[in-house]
């Protein structure tokens, strides 16, 4: 059992914790991954996600959010081939229905092209001639982003769990209930139903990828151990999202041009004929509302007939963690050796690799291919 000071504890088994545990191990770190079992009430929010990667088509022109998105897309392209088969689709269409948005989106295309990121404007005629399913009287055109896309979250998490296992990462099915400094290390108190799981872990560094669980964990910590310059403004706020799988017998045979963002709603073609995922609602709190689900299905009253007649095969929901009073995500050093990488809100699948790469840099780890 590793007890020595060079162990890095990665806490959390959503997309952020899974990618972080895998990447730190690839960089040569000794990782113990504290990953509570799924099932029962506490599913990682990541399993509810649609896995849409909105990087280049984001409206952010500069700043941290844009840098993280761009880095994340590039890393997914490098890292996915190392993980085995994860269902993925490349190329994303963002439809535009507002005449006064066209110019702004065309300017975005020019800006991105100037930065070497492929993005194109597709006219209404171009879109409708190829994909009649997109018909809407107010359709103006759309962004075509060939390097954005979509990953299936459940197989992604499974592939990451297998790959971390192959790298020798120990995965302990434990909740962290407390964290205290011990010399230059950190003592984690653990709680697990598995009697073989140790009750504590001594680690030289701790990475908290705990999503919504972050507030509860930090509330129990002695405030004196935290760097006072990192102001967290309280716990994360929950924002619920609902999604569904649909069967669309009236979908025109050309289908969709891959994943589509239609009035902010994601439509993701599935491998099964005429099936789509649709999502997600944005509902503050933990409680889902039926009228939000219905509004999403109807695209706010503008859904084409093939979508209005779709049959809901199954539906699900999950909770996103949104930081209070600061932009998502939080990437911060709380104390020497304690990193917080949580609060990814609506982009935790997209941003997981950029988060893991940030963590490795903070811990002084070099990528495996560094000269
Ligand atoms: C319906 C829906 C659709 C979405 N669609 C997309 C999308 O298309 N693209 C996208 O990029 N994102 C999407 N998201 C957002 C995405 O799911 C989140 O940003 C992402 O899941 C955050 O991952 P995470 O690892 O930080 O958190 P989580 O997945 O919530 O994982 C947190 C982990 O920490 C563990 N944990 C918490 N506290 C403790 C503790 N004390 N000790 C040990 N472990 C602990 C939990 O058990 C869990 O394993 C969607 C979300 C929803 C709900």
Q: What is the pLDDT of residue 45?
A: 86
The mean per-residue pLDDT over the stretch 24-32 comes to 97
> Is ligand 1 within 6 A of the CB of residue 355?
no
* C-alpha atoms less than 13 angstroms from C-alpha of 344 in its C-beta half-sphere: 29
Strand partners, 266: 261, 279
Q: What is the pLDDT of residue 230?
A: 76
Locus of tokens 């045979």: 253
Distance 107 CA to ligand 1 centre (A): 33
Q: What is the pLDDT of residue 94?
A: 98
Distance 325 CA to ligand 1 centre (A): 19
pLDDT tens digit sequence for 180-220: 999 999 999 999 988 999 999 999 999 999 999 998 898 88
pLDDT band, residue 3 (cuts 50/70/90): very low
pLDDT tens digit sequence for 240-293: 999 999 999 999 999 999 999 999 999 999 999 999 999 999 999 999 999 999
Q: What is the pLDDT of residue 233?
A: 64
Distance 208 CA to ligand 1 centre (A): 12
> Is ligand 1 within 6 A of the CB of residue 211?
yes
Nearest protein Cα to ligand 1, atom 6: 49
Q: What is the pLDDT of residue 4?
A: 47
pLDDT tens digit sequence for 168-188: 999 999 999 999 999 999 999
Distance 211 CA to ligand 1 centre (A): 6
The mean per-residue pLDDT over the stretch 9-14 comes to 97
Distance 255 CA to ligand 1 centre (A): 30
CA dist 134 and 92 (Å) reads: 14
> Is ligand 1 within 6 A of the CB of residue 236?
no
Q: Give the count of beta carbons closer than 10 Å to the beta carbon of residue 114.
A: 8
> Is ligand 1 within 6 A of the CB of residue 320?
yes
pLDDT tens digit sequence for 71-124: 999 999 999 999 999 999 999 999 999 999 999 999 999 999 999 999 999 999
Pocket residue to mutate for ligand 1, from 23, 43, 44, most atoms within 8 A of Cβ? 44
Per the CB < 8 A criterion, the answer to whether 203 and 338 are in contact is no
Q: Is 21 left (phi over 0), alpha (psi -120 to 50) or beta?
A: alpha
Local structure of residue 26 (DSSP, 8 states):
H
> Is ligand 1 within 6 A of the CB of residue 55?
no
> Is ligand 1 within 6 A of the CB of residue 52?
yes
- Mean pLDDT, the chain, rounded, equals 94
> Is ligand 1 within 6 A of the CB of residue 353?
no
pLDDT tens digit sequence for 126-168: 999 999 999 998 999 999 999 999 999 999 999 999 999 999 9
Q: What is the pLDDT of residue 2?
A: 42
CA dist 132 and 305 (Å) reads: 12
Radius of gyration of the chain (CA): 22
Residue of higher predicted confidence among 248 and 229: 248
The mean per-residue pLDDT over the stretch 58-79 comes to 96
Q: What is the pLDDT of residue 42?
A: 56
Nearest protein Cα to ligand 1, atom 50: 49
CA dist 306 and 169 (Å) reads: 47
* C-alpha atoms less than 13 angstroms from C-alpha of 243 in its C-beta half-sphere: 23
Could you tell me what percent of the chain has a pLDDT over 90?
A: 86
Distance 50 CA to ligand 1 centre (A): 12
The CA-atom distances, in angstroms, between 154 and each of 18, 19, 52, 162, 169 are: 12, 13, 13, 13, 20
> Is ligand 1 within 6 A of the CB of residue 347?
yes
Distance 86 CA to ligand 1 centre (A): 18
Domains parsed from the chain with CATH numbers: 7-49+155-235+324-362 (3.50.50.60), 88-148+237-322 (3.30.9.10)
Nearest protein Cα to ligand 1, atom 22: 348
What's the pTM value of the predicted model, to 2 decimals?
Answer: 0.96
CA dist 155 and 247 (Å) reads: 22
- Pairing, β 260-262 against β 265-269: antiparallel
Q: Give the count of beta carbons closer than 10 Å to the beta carbon of residue 123.
A: 13
Distance 45 CA to ligand 1 centre (A): 4
The mean per-residue pLDDT over the stretch 324-346 comes to 95
> Is ligand 1 within 6 A of the CB of residue 89?
no
SS3 35: coil
Q: What is the pLDDT of residue 281?
A: 98
> Is ligand 1 within 6 A of the CB of residue 11?
yes
> Is ligand 1 within 6 A of the CB of residue 348?
yes
């Amino acid at each position: 059992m590793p007890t020595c000071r060079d162990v890095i504890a990665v806490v959390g088994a959503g997309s952020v914790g899974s990618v972080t545990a895998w990447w730190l191990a690839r960089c040569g770190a000794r990782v113990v991954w504290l990953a509570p079992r799924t099932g029962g009430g506490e599913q990682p929010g990541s399993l509810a996600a649609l896995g849409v990667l909105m990087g280049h088509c984001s409206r952010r022109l500069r700043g941290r959010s844009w840098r993280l998105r761009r880095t994340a897309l590039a890393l997914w392209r490098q890292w996915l081939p190392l993980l085995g088969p994860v269902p993925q689709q490349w190329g994303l269409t963002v439809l535009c229905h507002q005449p006064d948005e066209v110019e702004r989106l065309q300017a975005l295309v020019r800006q991105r092209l100037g930065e070497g990121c492929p993005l194109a404007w597709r006219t209404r005629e171009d879109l409708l001639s190829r994909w009649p399913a997109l018909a809407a009287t107010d359709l103006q055109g759309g962004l075509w982003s060939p390097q954005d896309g979509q990953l299936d979250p459940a197989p992604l998490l499974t592939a990451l769990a297998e790959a971390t296992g192959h790298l020798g990462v120990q995965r302990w099915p434990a909740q962290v209930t407390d964290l205290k400094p011990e010399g230059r290390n950190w003592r984690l108190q653990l709680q697990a139903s598995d009697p073989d799981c140790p009750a504590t872990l001594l680690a030289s560094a701790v990475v908290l990828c705990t999503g919504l669980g972050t507030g509860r964990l930090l509330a129990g910590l002695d405030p004196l151990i935290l760097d006072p310059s990192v102001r967290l403004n309280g716990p994360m706020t929950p924002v619920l999202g609902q999604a569904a799988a649909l069967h669309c017998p009236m979908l025109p045979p050309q289908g969709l041009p891959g994943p589509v963002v239609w009035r902010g709603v994601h439509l993701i073609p599935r491998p099964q004929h005429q099936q789509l995922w649709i999502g997600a609602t944005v509902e503050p709190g933990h409680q889902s509302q039926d009228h939000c689900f219905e509004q999403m299905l109807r695209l706010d009253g503008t859904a084409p007939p093939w979508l209005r007649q779709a049959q809901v095969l199954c539906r699900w929901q999950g909770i996103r963690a949104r930081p209070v009073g600061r932009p998502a995500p939080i990437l911060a050093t709380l104390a020497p050796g304690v990193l917080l990488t949580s609060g990814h809100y609506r982009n935790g699948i997209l941003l997981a690799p950029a988060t893991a790469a940030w963590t490795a840099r903070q811990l002084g780890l070099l990528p495996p291919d560094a000269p």
